[in-house]
Structure 1
Amino acid sequence: MKRSLILTLAFVLLSVIALNAETPITKATLINRSVKQFEKAEWNVSIKTIFTNAYLQEEVALDMLLSSPSGKKLVLPCYYEAGESGKTSQWKARFLPQEKGKYSYKFQLSKDGKVIYATKPAAFNAVASKFKGILNTKNDWTFQFDNGEAFRGIGENICWESRDNDDSKYFKALHENPKYNYEYLLPALAQHGGNYFRTWICSWNLPLDWKSGFNNRRYTNSSAYFNPSAISKMDRMVNLSDSLGLYIMLTMGPGSYDAKNGRYATSTAAFFTDAKAKAQYKNRLRFIVARWGYSSAIGAWEFFNEIDNVQFRDKNNPIPAEHIVQWHQEMADYLKAIDPYHHLITTSISHRDLKGLNSIGAIDFNQKHIYKNNHALPTTIVSYASQFKKPYVIGEYGYEYDWSKNFDEFAPEMDSDFKRGLWYGLFSPTPILPLSWWWEYFDNRGTDKYIVHVRTIQDLMMKAGKGSFETFAVKSTNPDVETFSVKCGNDIFVYLYNSKKEAAQTDILLPVQLQGYELVKYTCETGAFDKPVNLNGSLKISAAELNPNADVVYILKKR
């Protein structure tokens, strides 16, 4: 009992920096009883200082300065949580140790852009854990975690929860169904084999920058600079994603730049060039990184959804591309500088490239959206990845983009396009398989359950090659049968798809004789494997038979 009391007192003494009451930082308390690598460590920090808006770093800013076990110098933005100016206000630091071992740190307070106070150094020890860390770039085919394990994303867009008043002509009731929330959609995605999704911050979903006018009863009006109900929902969404092993492409968007939301007001065109507008956006980025940057569930920061559509919002007076590209360059550099974890960064276009946008060094992977042309998915991925020497992702795809149409009139085509986009992506050099749109529609039809069929083969690929993918060219003797192939480790995977309305038959010609291999057929639609058959060094796989609109995967597995 005495020893336990001594240990408890020792923990309190180590985790609380007791400071002179006259200093602006009056207390800094480590909440965790132990700190683990790749898990959140959190501090409560008490500050007594004067401010008008604690979210504006040019007025007041709290940073945590850390030295990692390997000697890296890190700067972690901290965020204001509650309290009045001139009285004791509460701030927080959320940190994810990416190394195990001893960290030293101190807190530093700035006013009007100048450092006015720093605490005495303190330390904590991060012990090893089973978690993997933050996603980083690796190659065109995969990302990798801090621990070196390869990752490939598969999932769909879940860009918002149901709205109160949806504008769909035929599916209004479906889209307004309150069951379509993160608590339903994210577990369903994980259950179906997904590990990645894309979601938006906007006026009706996670509306951090809006005081009212949400078109979504999940959020409440507030005069706060960042909406508390949106913050709370974001906390829940990030925590839920983390618990399910899901990774988020967080589309941050421009936020509000409207005076009614307490923002510096500007036009859409001036948003990209006005110094005050850019400073406002940087404060927004700082808060997002400070509050949620610790989470390994953040798979990527995405600046804009379809920036080319923003550019041409006024068709008669488009925003100059160079203004948008320069803004992205500045914001990507800034985000890299304030994010100590260096989460991946991206942005997206609909279909019109902006000169220079794909070449920004601090943007880790490029992205566009493709509708009504799923055959363009593989060629687009290969072309852009090769041209710009960085991974390429299809952030949205679908058979139809026009929400005024009745999808039920061509539902089989919608379903087929959903499935084909995943398979095309699986056999293309992209670290995130194409992400489908229309999540409510595909949930209602049960189409999204199909994701697990593709995930099954993806898992076999990742296991066989430990994340490595190589080109392995095979040929089909029937030009009407689409053929894709890849080698992972010693195993070879061949995808065949018959898009015709009549049955097709083909032989598969191999470039070399394969000694010691067996052949396993996987029927994509059913998810069933046939019994293995020995190849006996053959250069040909004979007589693959495919029904109309049917596909199979042949796995040539080294015995």
Structure 2
Amino acid sequence: MKTKILIVFQIAMFIWGVTNPAKAQIKQATLTTEAVRLFEKAEWNIELIEQWQNPYLKEDVSLDMEISTPSGKKLIVPCYYESGKSNQLQLWKARFAAREVGKYTCKFILCKNGKTTSEFVANSFKAVASDKKGFLQLNNNYTFKYDNGEVFRGIGENICWEARSNDDSKFFKTLHENARFNYEFMLPKLVANGGNFTRVWICSWNFPLEWQTVSANTNRYTNSTAYYNTSAIVKLDRLFVLADSLNLHIMLALAGGGGFETGNYSDKTIGFAESDSAFFVNPKSKLQYKNKLRYLIARWGYSPSIGAWEFFNEVDYLSFSKDPTDTSRPKSVTAWHHEMSTYLKANDPYKHLVTTSISHKDVEGLNLVPNIDFNQKHSYKNTAGIPATIIDYTEKYKKPYVIGEFGYEWDWSKNFDLFANEMDSDFKRGLWYGLFSPTPILPMSWWWEYFENRGMMSYFARVRYISDRMLADGKGNFEQVDGSFSSSEITVYGVKCGKSTFVYLFNPTNEVIKGSVQVPQNKQLKIITLYTCETGETATHERFLVKDGTLSISDVELAPLTDKIIIVSEK
């Protein structure tokens, strides 16, 4: 009898709670970070009561942090739900990175169905200086720049996922499943060898944030009934703590490698779109995506390590139907990017760079979307064409262009060991061709497990050495230089950075070639340095002559399939 009475009471209390919700109220907001430093994470715990169906949907419930900066700017920082039940005491969090030294004031605003239900004025706080450089911003076609004004050029590779437990490679399954290919190993190794930029995917087997059922080829993540996969959240938190500690920047691809049918946007799961093409036009799907962007900003937007938000990996594969007369899909994809990039720019208080990528087929209008900061494509089996591609797209669309993936071979069903030397040479060429082209991120190689296993990661240091010299000499300013070699067999690229000129020479033949280099120069007093790309060795070169505005450097010898850089500087 007592049990029945208790059950009836509990049911009655539940009904009362639904029909008589507790008054919405922000009860407390506590800064948990001991000292707030520029460009570092500061975190608040916010305790509140509010009723909701889904705390991740802004149209249901939202919490924002309104900040007044020392210079008087007003910022709105989205907050995110952490734990607790509807209509009971809940924990929400705010994360913020200060960009100005001085005193800040802030208040928290709670909304239900878009209407304010509670406000809470929190204690003011002061931000002090740090050794961090800040967030990446646009600068010119060759470089980005930090908040502190320092210029940046990205050097690195794709490390799009960690080792999978069931890889589908025909010849390298064992290698790809090796546990050492995790971010704690690969990211520090990349940085130790001169890398400062990488690319990471969110997909069904890597950071599966929007997959309640994860891919069967990974055991790193678990299925989840939560709206956002909790195992993915934990590992994304880990990723950005690690990247921040390394001063490494990440291009985060928000939609990596398929998996639509099992993801949150499909109407077969918890979504609304009947197909991946319907996703781009369904109003409910678009609202769902905007809520995801808001969550990303709230939880990880504080991190300067986010070098760019990348909406899609190779979106051209979703942009065309089998009917060649159907023009609706590319138009809807472009319109979607316009809408989402506008939303992201309006709601990201840090104004992270925004991009998306194609494989090889341009989508009409996509390169012209104004809130896409830089365009990009992927280039396989055409590394020699990378410089021309970058120049062509940069001039045509008047914004930076990036080669987000490149490689000698794209087909994972082939045995790369049969042409391993060609793979290695192509890896190196892509980096050098990018360094001498107008791009702020050097082309990023694919097949990170294969190249790490062959000891290629140390090569990033060779490129970083020259890149640092270019940036130091030119302070981020580059000019194309028309150089030539006495033999037409030699590939030549040149740039001028400040008072220094850099000329890249590559001998693609199987013969030793010796000859002279010509570059435009007027002043007589010069120091000529030869840099051997393979070893990193430098040597002074004495045999040169300036005449009629041309610098001729004689007796330059290149062994088969090798490269050198000539550095011309004033005494």
TM-score (norm 1): 0.93
The amino acid of 1:517's aligned partner reads K
Instruction: Kindly indicate whether the alpha-carbon contact (under 8 Å) linking 1:481 and 1:506 is maintained by their aligned counterparts in 2.
Output: no
Moved more, 135-144 or 506-515: 506-515
Tell me what 1:438 maps to: 447
Shift of 1:274: 0.5
Please tell me whether the aligned partners of residues 24 and 51 of structure 2 are also in contact (alpha carbons under 8 angstroms).
no
Residues 466-475 or 359-368, more deviating = 466-475
Structure 2 equivalent of residue 199 of structure 1: 200
Whole-Å Cα distance in 2 between the matches of residues 500 and 439 of structure 1?
27
Q: Give percent identity, aligned residues only.
A: 54
| Cα gap change, 1:244 to 1:534, in 2 (>3 Å) | farther
Deviations 1:199-218 (A, max 9, x none): 10000000011122332111
Matched, 1:236 2:238: yes
Residue 395 (structure 1) aligned to one of 404, 408, 427: 404
Q: Could you tell which deviates more after superposition, 310-319 or 144-153?
A: 310-319
CA contact (8 A) 1:140 1:392 kept: yes
1-structure distance, mates of 2:42, 2:409: 45
1:285 aligns with 2:293: yes
The answer to whether the Cα contact below 8 Å between 1:266 and 1:277 also exists between their aligned partners in 2 is: no
Deviations 1:222-254 (A, max 9, x none): 111111111111111111111112100000018
Match of 1:525 among 517, 525, 534: 534
Check whether the contact 2:24–2:117 (CA below 8 A) recurs between aligned residues: no
SS of 1:530's partner is strand
SS of equivalent residue, structure 2 residue 121: coil
Partner SS, residue 205 of structure 2: coil
Structure 2: segments with no counterpart, 5+ residues: 1-21
Q: Which moved more, 1:525-534 or 1:247-256?
A: 525-534
In 2, Cα distance between equivalents of 1:343 and 1:261 = 31
Q: Find the partner of 1:511 among 496, 520, 529.
A: 520
| Letter of the 2:424 counterpart | D
* Partner AA of 2:248 in structure 1: L
How far the C-alpha of 1:520 sits from its partner, in A, is 0.7
Query: How far apart are the structure 2 equivalents of 1:440 and 1:175?
Result: 6
Q: Give how far 1:514 is off.
A: 3.2
Correspondence 1:227 to 2:229: yes
Question: What is the CA-CA distance between 1:293 and the residue it aligns to?
Answer: 0.3
Equivalent residues of 2:424, 2:456 under 8 A apart: yes
- Partner residue, 1:152: 153
Give the match for residue 111 of structure 1: 112
SS at match of 1:119: strand
- Residues 1:558 and 2:570 aligned together: yes
1:402-551 superposed matches below 5 A: 402-531=411-540, 533=542, 535=544, 537=546, 539-551=551-563
Equivalent pair of 1:514/1:536 in contact (CA under 8 Å): no
Superposition pairs for residues 5-16 of structure 1, below 5 Å? none
1:381 is aligned to 390
Q: Does the 8 A contact of 2:212 with 2:264 survive in 1? A: no
Q: 1:318 to 1:439 in 2, by over 3 A?
A: farther
Gaps of 5+ in 1: 1-20
Whole-angstrom distance in 1 between the partners of 2:441 and 2:299: 25
Please say if residues 524 and 552 of structure 1, whose CA atoms lie closer than 8 Å, have aligned partners that are also in contact: yes
Are 1:370 and 2:372 matched, yes or no? no
1:295 and 2:282 are equivalent in the alignment = no
> Secondary structure at the residue paired with 2:125?
strand
Q: Deviations over 1:47-86 (max 9, x none)?
A: 1111111001110000111121222211111000111111
Matches of 1:325 and 1:419, distance apart in 2: 34
* 2:350 is aligned with 1:311: no
- Could you tell me how far 1:448 is from its partner in structure 2? 2.3
Residues 314 and 218 (structure 1), Cα distance of their counterparts in 2 relative to 1, 3 Å cut: farther
Paired residue type of 2:534: E
Pairs aligned (count): 539
**Does structure 1 retain, via aligned residues, the 8 Å contact 2:243–2:305?**
yes
Give the structure-2-normalised TM-score: 0.92
Q: How far apart are the structure 2 equivalents of 1:105 and 1:213?
A: 39
Deviates most, 361-370 or 251-260: 251-260
Contact 1:198-1:251 within 8 A present in 2 as well: yes
Report the residue type matching 1:84 in the other structure. K
* Structure 2 equivalent of residue 322 of structure 1: 331
1:67-82, aligned counterparts within 5 Å? Answer: 67-82=68-83
Distance 1:313 1:240 in 2: 41
RMSD: 1.7
Letter in 2 for 1:556: V
Quote the Cα distance in structure 1 between the aligned partners of 2:193 and 2:423: 18
AA matched with 2:239: M
How far off its partner does 1:261 sit?
4.7
Q: Distance in 2 between matches of 1:313 and 1:202?
A: 23
Q: Could you say which residue in structure 1 is the equivalent of 2:6?
A: none
TM-fit CA distance, 1:312: 3.7
Q: Which residue of 2 aligns with 1:270?
A: 278
Residue aligning to 1:249: 251
Aligned to 1:45: 46
Q: Separation in 2 of the partners of 1:120 and 1:113?
A: 20
Query: What's the CA shift for 1:346?
Result: 0.2
Distance 1:81 1:313, change over 3 A: farther
**Distance in 2 of aligned mates of 1:81 and 1:114:** 21
After TM superposition, the structure 1 stretch with the greater mean CA deviation from structure 2, 166-175 or 254-263, is 254-263
- Counterpart CA distance in 2 for 1:403 and 1:504 is 35
**CA–CA distance in 2 between the matches of 1:532 and 1:108?**
66
* Greater mean deviation of Cα atoms: 30-39 or 270-279: 30-39
Q: How far is the alpha carbon of 1:515 from its aligned partner?
A: 2.4
Q: Deviations over 1:106-130 (max 9, x none)?
A: 1111111222222236422111222
